[in-house]
Chains A and B, each alone.
Chain A
Amino acid sequence: MINFIIRRLLLVIPMALIAVTVTWGLIRIAPGNFYSSEKKLPPAIEKNIREKYGLDKSWIEQYGIMMWNVMKLDFGESLKFEGQSVNGMIARHFPYSATIGILAYILALIIGLTAGIIAALKQNSYFDYGSMALAMLGLSVPSFVLGPLLVLVFALWLYILPPARWGGISFLVLPVVTLSASYAAYIARLTRAGMLEVMRSDYIRTARAKGLDEKTVLLKHGLRGGIIPVVSFTGPALASLLAGTIVVEKVFAIPGLGNIFIQAVLNRDEPVILGIVAFLSILVMLFNLAVDISYGFLDPRIRYE
Chain B
Amino acid sequence: MREMSGQNRFAFALILLSLLLAGCSTQASSKYFGKNNVPKNNVLRYISGSEPESLDPQVGTGQPEARIYTALYDGLVEFHPKTMEPIPSIAESWEVSKDGTEYLFKLRKDAKFSNGDPITANDFVYSFRRALKPELLAKNAYLAYPIKYAEPYNAKKSFVKGADGKFLVKSDFESPDAKVEESPDEKVEKDKDGSGSQATTDNFGADTETHRFLDEPERLAVPSDKESLDALVKDKPKLKAAVESGELVPVTEEHLGVEAVDDFTFRLKLFQPAPYFVGLLTHQFFRVIHKGTIEKYGKDWVKPGNIVTSGTFKLVDHKPYDEVVVTKDPNNWDAENVRLDGIEFYPMDEATSMMNIYKYGGVDAVYNHVPPAAWNDQIKQFKSEYLNFPEVAIEYYTFNVTKPPMDNVKVRKAFSLAIDRDALETFRRTTKTLVDFTPEGIFPKYEEARTKVYTELLKKQGSSLEEWRARKFDPEKARKLLEEAGYPVKGSTGNYSCPDFPINDVALLYNTSESNKDVAEFIQAQWNQNLGITVPLKNMEWKTFLNVRKELAYKGMGRAGWVGDYMDPYTFLALFYTENNDSSTGWYDPKYDKMLDDANKEIDPQKRFEMLAQAEFYLMQHQPVAPLQTQATNWMKKPYVKGMYPNPGTLHPWKFVYIEPDESKWTQNAEDIMKISDPSVDQHVDRLMASQTSVEDKAKRSDAATKKSGE
Contact = CB atoms under 8 A, between A and B. Distances in A.
A37 interface: yes
A151 B302 contact: no
A40 interface: yes
A178 to B, nearest CB: 13
B302 A83 contact: yes
Contacts of B54: 81-83
Given A36-B550, A39-B582, A255-B322, A30 B359 contact: no
A263 to B, nearest CB: 7
A76 interface: no
A31 B321 contact: no
B350 interface: yes
A142 B331 CA distance: 52
A166 B139 CA distance: 32
Contact of B321 (A48, A93, A155, A164): A93
A49 B137 contact: yes
B223 interface: yes
A163 interface: yes
Interface stretch (B148-156, B164-172, B200-208): B148-156
B141 interface: yes
A122 interface: no
Interface in A158-204: 159, 162-166
| Best-buried of A93, A157, A163 by chain B (most CB within 10 Å) | A163
B463 interface: no
A156 B23 contact: yes
Given A92-B320, A148-B352, A155-B356, A44 B223 contact: yes
Nearest to B561: A38
B61 interface: yes
B579 to A, nearest CB: 11
B544 to A, nearest CB: 4
Contact of A260 (B53, B299, B321, B357): B321
A153 B334 CA distance: 45
B19 interface: yes
A293 B303 CA distance: 43
B137 A52 contact: yes
Given A38-B546, A40-B580, A156-B23, A81 B51 contact: yes
Contact of A156 (B59, B356, B542, B550): B356
Contacts of B59: 82
A35 interface: yes
| Best-buried of B303, B357, B547 by chain A (most CB within 10 Å) | B357
Given A39-B582, A259-B321, A163 B134 contact: no
B65 to A, nearest CB: 11
A82 B53 CA distance: 7
Contacts of A48: 134-135, 137, 156
Contact of B141 (A45, A82, A266): A45
Contact of B19 (A36, A81, A157, A166): A157
Contacts of A165: 322, 346, 348, 357, 362
Given A155-B356, A255-B322, A263 B50 contact: yes
A255 B22 contact: no
B688 interface: no
Contact of A36 (B51, B361, B543, B562): B543
Nearest to A51: B137
A92 B51 CA distance: 15
B545 to A, nearest CB: 8
Interface residues of A, number: 51
| Best-buried of B59, B134, B357, B543 by chain A (most CB within 10 Å) | B543
A164 B142 contact: no
A300 interface: no
Nearest to A37: B139
B173 interface: no
A54 to B, nearest CB: 14
| Best-buried of A33, A43, A44, A159 by chain B (most CB within 10 Å) | A44
Interface string B69-90: 0000000000000000000000
B139 A252 contact: no
Contacts of A37: 61, 139, 546
Contact of B353 (A52, A89, A157, A163): A163
Given A31-B543, A81-B54, A156 B360 contact: yes
A40 B354 CA distance: 31
Contact of A159 (B53, B303, B360, B582): B360
Contacts of A268: 543
B53 A81 contact: yes
Interface string A130-164: 00000000000000000010011101110100111
B139 A44 contact: no
Contact of B360 (A41, A148, A162, A252): A162
A157 B22 contact: yes
A164 B356 contact: yes
Interface in B320-337: 320-322
A22 interface: no
A211 interface: no
A163 B357 contact: yes
Interface of A: 30-33, 35-45, 48-49, 52, 80-84, 89, 92-93, 126, 148, 151-153, 155-157, 159, 162-166, 250-253, 255, 259-260, 263, 266-268
8 contacts: A40-B582, A42-B141, A44-B228, A45-B137, A164-B348, A164-B353, A255-B321, A259-B321
